[in-house]
Structure 1
Amino acid sequence: MSYHIVSIDTPECSISCKKGQLTCTTPEGSNSIPLEDVAAIVITSFSASIHSKLLLEAAKLGVALVLCESFKPASLVLPANRSTDTLLTRAQISLPKKIRDNLWKKTINAKTLNQLSLAQQIGPSHRAIPLLEMTAKGRKQHKESICARAFWDIYGDTVAETDDFKRGRNEGGINQLLNYGYAVLLSTVLQNCFALGIDPTFGINHVVRERSTPLAYDLMEPFRPCVDWRVAQWVKQHPDCQETDNWNVSPEFRRWVTGFPAVLIDYFGLHLDIRSCIEGVIRSFRKALIEQKSGLYKPWTHSNSKWAG
């Protein structure tokens, strides 16, 4: 499989293929990349035009096109010979329970360590830090739920500035901002799953429901603190909303939070934006599936002393 996943997000552009080059033309000019080096093209632009020549050439080279609406994948255009990836699908279906459990354990370990890292920055002296640290670094059976309670206790006191903060999809306050940010994160994970040929309906932990994508919910877990940090920055910069408890998802907030995938983070010695890091993580997960070796899966953990931004 070719390496690059190309994301097209320019508002007005024309995408074509000329002399083997994937070309994106905008009013400001054009950029090109050899189509043979592309694994998938993710189109989030709301007004891009796609030439039929590109569709044909992409099909010949096995390149997938992922068309998105509001950043969420809405259509997947695959070459006829890539309509199914038998090897990968079979590996997902037949994944042994022991390997599936190990993959989930690595995911939760990464998530809880990232929660600890963020909590130590936003509330270093908070009373719940010792419990969060002991649990995140330990092997307790229910570490995810224990860490979640401690983390949201810290987040509620230091970010929401309330002693009765409850994290939930239908709760008010800054939950609305968090929910929108998680939706953007989910869409980014889904884009990469589809681009890399992974069926997101086969999860490793989240329950399968009709029209759901449990694997995307699984793989996004370690990146949730990135959204939490983005929202914390927004709250700090808008004290007027804090005073009135008016946390509506405004157009300004949408523009702010959708920019978080471009924030730079470290991943195994590389300084990457979050979007590229997510791609790297999902590539490692794909390899772990095919080779049936959980050790090949490399979830992201925050390694800097300070969170960027």
Structure 2
Amino acid sequence: MSWRILQITKPCTLKIKNKQLLYVPQEEEEISFPLEDISVLILENRQITVHNILLAELAKHGICLFSCDESHMPCGAYFPFLSYYQSSHMAKLQIEMRKPLQNRLWQELVRVKIQNQALCLKILQRQGVEKLFAYSKKVVSGDKGNIEAAAANHYFKMLFSSFSRKNDEDLRNVFLNYGYAILRACIARSLVGVGLLPCFGLHHANMFNAYNLADDIIEPYRPFVDFSVYTLFQENSIENINTQYKNQLVRVLTKQIMIEESEVTVLKAIEYTCQSLAKSIKLKKNVLVLPYFLE
């Protein structure tokens, strides 16, 4: 199983040699990494040259490639095209999925998201845990009462002091958005890997959004990023988002969590969740497998 997450921060050339990624920096020695060990590759520096043959091999090995903008935030993702052997069949089933099933799946995603928010507060010894557990029990099919929004409002008030998700200048939001972007692209990769189209969501339906389905599936995974961001700000006097902090945010993907009574990494759990979504669509019933914090 691939496990390595590579973050490239210096000017270099990336090549392929003997089924290995060859990192050729301008002023340092070359380093090689077996492609089969790599799950995610993040290109942060603007002066990185990538050979086309490497892009093809990344796709063959199911490696998710991120590109970053001038502010070093992920702005694009590259992953395998039609990597599932029944892609057209799965896409047809996805498009034909009935609204009641979509509503039940969204209900489950929201319910588990709120429970993970409660567990996040509990582990961090913050207040407001019981109210979130109560919110999770009120979520109905399709979350028609928009309990998700009410729970999120309460959750962030309890997690951070003097905080608003709408404040783009708050460094905590910068950190959250970076972590969420990494999760989102990894989820999109896994969705494509099981033959689903990320543009067609269960709840999210923005016609300009190519990742509506990824934005649905990410919901129960967000609290893992929240936990890491809270911990980073508690342990450090942070003035900007540097390479060291980004490395720690990316390591959310290797965090051990629970899914189906098994202890796995977030990255592996994402695969299980996307596989269970495809199974739900095939069977036309909710058999979603979703993650939880290890307590």
Q: Distance in 2 between matches of 1:112 and 1:293?
A: 22
Q: In the alignment, residue 129 of structure 2 is paired with which amino acid?
A: I
Q: In the alignment, residue 224 of structure 2 is paired with which amino acid?
A: C
Q: Deviations over 1:170-206 (max 9, x none)?
A: 3524222212221122122122223333210000001
Superposition pairs for residues 15-94 of structure 1, below 5 Å? 15=16, 31=34, 44=41, 46=43, 66-70=64-68, 74-78=77-81, 85-94=87-96
Q: In the alignment, residue 232 of structure 2 is paired with which amino acid?
A: W
Structure 1 contact 92–289 (Cα < 8 Å) conserved: yes
Shift of 1:253: 1.7
Compared CA separation, residues 6 and 180, structure 1 to 2 (3 A)? closer
Q: 1:266 maps to what in 2?
A: 258
1:250 to 228, 242, 245: 242
1:143 to 117, 124, 147: 147
Compared CA separation, residues 43 and 253, structure 1 to 2 (3 A)? closer
1:120 to 122, 147, 157: 122
Q: Distance in 2 between matches of 1:49 and 1:153?
A: 43
Q: 2:27 maps to what in 1?
A: none
Q: 1:235 maps to what in 2?
A: 233
Is 1:285 the equivalent of 2:283? no
Instruction: Classify the secondary structure of the residue corresponding to 1:44.
Output: strand
Shift of 1:151: 0.7
Instruction: Classify the secondary structure of the residue corresponding to 2:263.
Output: strand
Structure 1 contact 66–73 (Cα < 8 Å) conserved: no
Q: Deviations over 1:17-39 (max 9, x none)?
A: 7xxxx666786776586xxxxxx
Q: Percent identity?
A: 19
Q: Distance in 2 between matches of 1:88 and 1:219?
A: 17
Q: Deviations over 1:40-75 (max 9, x none)?
A: x8662647977959959x87xxx7665432466544
1:299 to 280, 290, 293: 290
Shift of 1:145: 1.8
Structure 2 contact 16–53 (Cα < 8 Å) conserved: no
Q: In the alignment, residue 134 of structure 2 is paired with which amino acid?
A: M
What count of residue pairs does the alignment treat as equivalent? 271
Is 1:179 the equivalent of 2:181? no
Instruction: Classify the secondary structure of the residue corresponding to 1:299.
Output: coil
Q: In the alignment, residue 285 of structure 1 is paired with which amino acid?
A: L
Q: 1:130 maps to what in 2?
A: 130
Instruction: Classify the secondary structure of the residue corresponding to 1:68.
Output: strand
Which structure 1 residue ranges, 5 or more long, are not aligned? 34-40, 157-161
Q: Which stretch has the larger CA shift, 144-153 or 248-257?
A: 248-257
Shift of 1:129: 3.2
Instruction: Classify the secondary structure of the residue corresponding to 2:258.
Output: strand
Structure 2 contact 81–192 (Cα < 8 Å) conserved: no
Q: 1:38 maps to what in 2?
A: none
Shift of 1:249: 2.0
Shift of 1:260: 1.2
Q: Which stretch has the larger CA shift, 256-265 or 45-54?
A: 45-54
Q: Deviations over 1:96-115 (max 9, x none)?
A: 01110011011011100000
Is 1:167 the equivalent of 2:157? no
**Greater C-alpha Rg:** 1
Q: Distance in 2 between matches of 1:200 and 1:53?
A: 24
Q: Distance in 1 between matches of 2:52 and 2:130?
A: 57
Shift of 1:169: 5.8
Structure 1 contact 13–48 (Cα < 8 Å) conserved: yes
**Normalization by structure 2: what TM-score?**
0.76
Superposition pairs for residues 193-232 of structure 1, below 5 Å? 193-232=191-230
Instruction: Classify the secondary structure of the residue corresponding to 1:193.
Output: helix
Which structure 2 residue ranges, 5 or more long, are not aligned? 24-29, 69-73
Q: Distance in 1 between matches of 2:136 and 2:103?
A: 17
Q: Distance in 1 between matches of 2:264 and 2:49?
A: 26
Please give the root-mean-square deviation of Cα atoms over the aligned residues, in Å: 3.5
Q: In the alignment, residue 289 of structure 2 is paired with which amino acid?
A: K
